[in-house]
Amino acid sequence: MKSGYKFVKETFETHEKGHNTPHWYRGIEYRKGHSIERIERPTKIHRARSLGYKAKQGYTLVRARIRKGGMHKIRPKRGRKPRAMGVKKYTTGKNLQWIAEERVQRKFPNMQVLNSYKVYSDGRNWYYEVILVDPNHPVIKSDPNIHWITESAHKKRVTRGLTSAGKKARGLYKKGWGSEKNRPSIRANKGRGK
């Protein structure tokens, strides 16, 4: 037996992505909007629900836009060897989804980032929807499934890499051989076991 959200997922993922489709118009709307924009309801309801979103008080959804590619360093005005320019092939130590979550956190400092998921991409940008939770809301405090986020150990969890995107960038989803120095963190293991 399939759940209702399973059918929604299949419908969303197999829809046509050509000219004059809902997907096409969605991209036009996203490009006209701000880089960080609050939205009323999730675009991918099945994905938001699987990541912990509930349509109740205390939950907020924000769409974030972030530019694709590397760090786009400024080219030095004075002479350099080409290898010493330090312009191209420089990337962040984080993935762009984590950076998008951090930008949303700075915009909404009283909320905590629960998780995020990709909704759209074009030639220039990635678009993510970020799920935010208000830890001071009485509905959140009384909900046994989410009240853990009100504890002080989860303050600014996105800046410490505790979301799914953050854990992926920190290498915590890799286990076994080759990942010995990823835990508790790369910095904590620096210089250990030489």
**Contact indicator for 76, 88 with CB cutoff of 8 Å:** no
For the chain, the structural domain boundaries read 34-182
Per-residue confidence (pLDDT) for residue 66, from 0 to 100? 96
Of the chain, the percentage scoring pLDDT greater than 90 comes to 70
pLDDT at residue 193 above 70? no
**Contact indicator for 120, 107 with CB cutoff of 8 Å:** no
Per-residue confidence (pLDDT) for residue 189, from 0 to 100? 86
The model's pLDDT over 130-167, given as tens digits with 9 standing for 90+, comes to 999 999 999 999 999 999 999 999 999 999 999 999 99
Burial class (CB in 10 A: 0-12, 13-18, 19+), 36: middle
Please state the rounded mean pLDDT for residues 30-36: 96
| Total residues belonging to the chain | 194
**Looking at the whole model, is its pTM more than 0.85?**
yes
The model's pLDDT over 39-71, given as tens digits with 9 standing for 90+, comes to 999 999 999 999 999 999 999 999 999 999 988
pLDDT at residue 15 above 80? no
CATH 3.40.1120.10 fits 34-182, yes or no: yes
The model's pLDDT over 71-91, given as tens digits with 9 standing for 90+, comes to 888 999 999 998 888 888 889
pLDDT at residue 12 above 90? no
* Mean pLDDT (the chain, rounded): 92
Residue with tokens 């080219």: 75
Is the dihedral angle over the CA atoms 31, 32, 34, 38 positive or is it negative?
negative
Per-residue confidence (pLDDT) for residue 194, from 0 to 100? 58
Structure tokens belonging to residue 19: 């000219």
